Structures are given as structure tokens and as C-alpha cells.
């Protein structure tokens, strides 16, 4: 879940893609259970350690997880002072695992049909809304993503967990995500926004060409129809530079999200506003499992104060 203080921080559960977190943070016993919508084996894809097959959550455990999302939202808004929360329903995390038919093969009320696979996501949003209100709640989707499988053998350390390759991605995500977005519009018309990842992004790579037939316009159409349309916002993320972001906002009316550029550009809003060339981050310092070293995260200088840093591969590019 992303908690908003002008910008959001995401609340999510990694489900089966989690590996034991760093010993520095957990002490003697770092073991975490690997759970998911279903006990679907995960491909190792060259990971350093074997990827365990997750255990399917029981119906009772699902309700516990729904409550955990709600508690996290409450704590973020009322204890930590954030302005709102964004449920992370994208990129192969737990909500996405329930939505996708390749990772959810359940035969109970949470699997099978589109409506059943969407139940967990809608229950999570409902619980979050009950705790913090519609205007403080949002959700993120990546309909065209293949989860963490796009990362191949990369190991990503994120929020104390390590995610390794897995295989996701429905052959046709439109019926599922179209239904979910329609239900969100019907049940929570004052939701703060829906956040979608564009299909041109594949893992850490921005594709030169979007695969034929892949577009989030079906979500824009559903979310942007009916009563109160002017109060509903859509955020688009996915490999935007300055010019692409402006063009997308002008053409579609979307709000534009920037993620990784913030790592190397602590003054990113200023650079975008003033058309200042962006710094390119040194990817070798990203997502280092087992390390608490802030190197490569907090030591990029703002515009006008750059120093030649071979170690950070500080390079400027007019994006």
C-alpha cells in the first residue's frame, strides 16, 4: 500500500515471491511463510536459492489478510500522518495473484470465475475504504504485466523481502480487469484514483514497441464513464520521460507517475518543470539483497550541484 503525503506509498503483500528478509532486520529466525492464492509452483529462472512452492491461503486466512490491509491503511493515515493509501494490486503481488487465472486455480468462492477471482481485491479495497474513507483510498493495477517473471534471474530486495522470477500474465486480461474497475466505479465512485501500469513496461525494461492489442484504454473508458466522471482520476505509470508524460496527459487526460527517475533525481519535479536534463541512475546499486547501505539511493546531487562520480555512473541525458 502506498501512503500519500502529496505522493503515495504502497501497501501490499508479496505472497509467494518473498524470500527470507535480511538478517540485519530479522535477527535469528528470518523465515517467512510463502503463501498465495493457490499452490502454483514458481519457476526458479536462475535464482540464487530455490523458489519454494507457495501454500494456498485458507478462507479464514484470507479474511485475516484483508484485515491486515485495513490495519495498515488505518495506521498509515491516523498514526503516521499520511494523506491516503494506495493498495498495490499490480506486478504479481498478492492482490494480483488472486486476480490472475494463471496464479489462482482455486475452486472456492475466491477462484474460478472472473467475479470470484476479483473478490479478494474488492474486499481489500472495501476494508481500506471503511477505515480511511473513499477519498483517501486508491488501487494500482498492471493488467499486461507478467508479474515478477519479467525480471528473469534478477533478485530484487524491496521492503525487507526478495522477489524472484515467476510466471504470470493472462492471455486476455480485459474481462477480469474490466470487471474489477467497473465494480470499483459502482461501489466506490469517490475513490481517490486508479493507478495503471502501461503495457510498454516489462519489468525493468521499457519496450520500444507496445505489443499489438495491448492498451489500458478499456480501463479509461470504464472508469471515466457514468455519473461523477469529473471526480474520478486515473494515474498512468510506465517509462515516461518528460515529453512522453506531457503528450500522454494532453491526449488522455491522465495524471502521470514517475518512479525510478526519483532515485537519481532528488529534484525531479523541478527538472521536469524547467526541462533540465535528467540524471540516469546506476542500476548496479538498485535492489541489493542483504545490504542496508544507502549508496546509490540518497547521494545523487540536485541539478547544478553535480560532481563527476564514476562510482555512481552519474550520466545526464535529455529525456
Q: How far apart, in whole angstroms, are the C-alpha atoms of residue 211 and residue 220?
A: 19
Report the pLDDT averaged over residues 268-272.
95
The domain spans of the chain are: 2-259, 277-319
Give the list of residues 6+ apart from residue 203 with CB closer than 8 angstroms, or none.
148, 149, 150, 151, 152, 154
For 2-259, give the CATH class. alpha beta
Q: Report whether pLDDT(226) > 90.
A: no
pLDDT, tens digit, 9 for 90 and up, residues 133-181: 999 999 999 999 875 544 433 332 232 233 333 456 788 999 999 999 9
Residue predicted with more confidence, 268 or 27: 268
Q: Which residue has the higher pLDDT, 293 or 287?
A: 293
**What does the pLDDT average to over 41-69?**
82
Over residues 109-119, the pLDDT tens digits come to 999 999 999 99
pTM for this one? 0.82
Average pLDDT (9-15) is 51
Instruction: Give the other-Cβ count within 10 Å of 277's Cβ.
Output: 14
Has residue 219 got a pLDDT over 90?
Answer: yes
Is the confidence at residue 85, as pLDDT, over 80? yes
- Catalytic annotation, residues: 93
HSE toward the beta carbon, residue 266, CA cutoff 13 A = 11
In which band, very low, low, confident or very high, does the pLDDT at 209 lie, cut at 50, 70 and 90?
confident
Amino acid at each position: 500500500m502506498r501512503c500519500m503525503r502529496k505522493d503515495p506509498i504502497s501497501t501490499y503483500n508479496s505472497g509467494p515471491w518473498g524470500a527470507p528478509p535480511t538478517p540485519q532486520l530479522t535477527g535469528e529466525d528470518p523465515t517467512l511463510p510463502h503463501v498465495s492464492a493457490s499452490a502454483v509452483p514458481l519457476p526458479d529462472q536462475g535464482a540464487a536459492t530455490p523458489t519454494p512452492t507457495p501454500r494456498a491461503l485458507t478462507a479464514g486466512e484470507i479474511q485475516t489478510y484483508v484485515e491486515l490491509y485495513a490495519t495498515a491503511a488505518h495506521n498509515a493515515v491516523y498514526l503516521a500522518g499520511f494523506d491516503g493509501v494506495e493498495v498495490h494490486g499490480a506486478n504479481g503481488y498478492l492482490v494480483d495473484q488472486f486476480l490472475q487465472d494463471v496464479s489462482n486455480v482455486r475452486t472456492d468462492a475466491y477462484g474460478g470465475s472472473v467475479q470470484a477471482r476479483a473478490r479478494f481485491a474488492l474486499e481489500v479495497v472495501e476494508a481500506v475504504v471503511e477505515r480511511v474513507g473513499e477519498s483517501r483510498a486508491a488501487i494500482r493495477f498492471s493488467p499486461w504485466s507478467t508479474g515478477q517473471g519479467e525480471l528473469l534471474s534478477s533478485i530484487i530486495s524491496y521492503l525487507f523481502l526478495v522477489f524472484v522470477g515467476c510466471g504470470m500474465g493472462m492471455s486476455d486480461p480485459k474481462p477480469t480487469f474490466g470487471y474489477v474497475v467497473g465494480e470499483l466505479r459502482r461501489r466506490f465512485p469517490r475513490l481517490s484514483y486508479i493507478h495503471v501500469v502501461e503495457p510498454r513496461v516489462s519489468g525493468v525494461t521499457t519496450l520500444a514497441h507496445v505489443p499489438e492489442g495491448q492498451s489500458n484504454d478499456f480501463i479509461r473508458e470504464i472508469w471515466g464513464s457514468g455519473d461523477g466522471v469529473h471526480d474520478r482520476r486515473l494515474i498512468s505509470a510506465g517509462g515516461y520521460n518528460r515529453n512522453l508524460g506531457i503528450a500522454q496527459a494532453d491526449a488522455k487526460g491522465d495524471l502521470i507517475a514517475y518512479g525510478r527517475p526519483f532515485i537519481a533525481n532528488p529534484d525531479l519535479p523541478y527538472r521536469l518543470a524547467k526541462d533540465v536534463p535528467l540524471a540516469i541512475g546506476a542500476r548496479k546499486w538498485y535492489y541489493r539483497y542483504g545490504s542496508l547501505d544507502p549508496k546509490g539511493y540518497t547521494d545523487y546531487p540536485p541539478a547544478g550541484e553535480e560532481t563527476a562520480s564514476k562510482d555512481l555512473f552519474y550520466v545526464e541525458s535529455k529525456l
